[in-house]
């Protein structure tokens, strides 16, 4: 079984981080954050739509914020940067960018490298919070690489970046040729990867 570091995940924490978890935070931290911001996801546009969004009035009710989905599988990198800027100009509070090697379908064509796109977004926005939705830090990436990438983008965005992690999908992550682990093994690997990322971010 492939693991990272010397610590295996405890069984009691195996469900702590699921696909779509945000920021590598512990479950209790996520619940606390949810009280402040109940993140709603808003995906604008269909495939083939112009790379811009209409201005919208965002009304915050009951702590709900509206976010924008940057679908790497449907857009080219320059379009994603432009859409992020348009989302900020339109008043969206945050955006999520998908991090996949393969698009979901052949029709979608390609899937840009999300971490390069994040650098472009950092240079073209000033208020929009942006996070990965989500990165799998175990198969295609080593967690140490994600720790460095996240720290770099966080520096560029000056507090506007958050790291979302998950256990991955075979379609998007199998490119390295490694055997695709079972769900329980992937959860253990994810737990260990989060420990590694946190340790490195703390200077370990």
User: DSSP code of 187?
Assistant: H
- Total domains, the chain: 1
CATH number of the structural domain spanning residue 123 = 3.20.20.30
Q: Is residue 40 part of a domain?
A: yes
Q: Is residue 5 part of a domain?
A: no
Q: CA nearest 130: which of 107, 90, 164?
A: 164
Q: In whole angstroms, give the CA distance from residue 131 to residue 137.
A: 14
Q: Is residue 4 part of a domain?
A: no
Q: Is residue 159 part of a domain?
A: yes
The string of DSSP codes covering 129-173 is EEEES-B-TTTTS-HHHHHHHHHHHHHHHTS-EE-EE----HHHH
Each residue's pLDDT tens digit in the chain (204 positions)?
Answer: 444 443 333 333 333 333 434 444 444 443 343 333 333 333 333 332 333 333 334 444 567 889 999 999 999 999 999 999 999 999 999 999 999 998 888 888 889 999 999 999 999 999 999 999 999 999 999 999 999 999 999 999 999 999 999 999 998 888 898 899 999 999 999 999 999 999 999 998
Known catalytic residues are 100, 169
Structural domain including 195 reads 17-44+63-201
Q: Is residue 172 part of a domain?
A: yes
- For the question of whether the overall pTM of this predicted structure is more than 0.95, the answer is no
């Amino acid at each position: 079984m492939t693991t990272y570091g010397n610590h295996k995940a405890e069984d009691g924490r195996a469900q702590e981080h699921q696909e779509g978890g945000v920021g590598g935070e512990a479950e209790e931290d996520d619940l606390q954050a949810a009280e402040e911001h109940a993140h709603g996801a808003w995906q604008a546009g269909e495939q083939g739509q112009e790379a811009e969004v209409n201005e919208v009035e965002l009304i915050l009710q009951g702590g709900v914020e509206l976010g924008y989905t940057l679908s790497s599988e449907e857009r080219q990198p320059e379009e994603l940067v432009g859409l992020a800027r348009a989302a900020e100009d339109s008043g969206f509070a945050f955006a999520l960018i998908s991090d996949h090697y393969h698009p979901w379908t052949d029709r979608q064509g390609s899937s840009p490298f999300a971490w390069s796109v994040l650098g472009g977004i950092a240079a073209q926005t000033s208020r929009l919070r942006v996070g990965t939705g989500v990165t799998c830090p175990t198969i295609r990436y080593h967690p140490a690489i994600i720790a460095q990438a996240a720290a770099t983008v966080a520096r560029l965005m000056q507090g506007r970046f958050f790291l979302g992690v998950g256990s991955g999908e075979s379609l998007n992550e199998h490119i390295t040729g490694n055997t695709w682990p079972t769900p329980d093994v992937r959860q253990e690997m994810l737990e260990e990867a989060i420990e590694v990322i946190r340790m490195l971010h703390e200077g370990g």
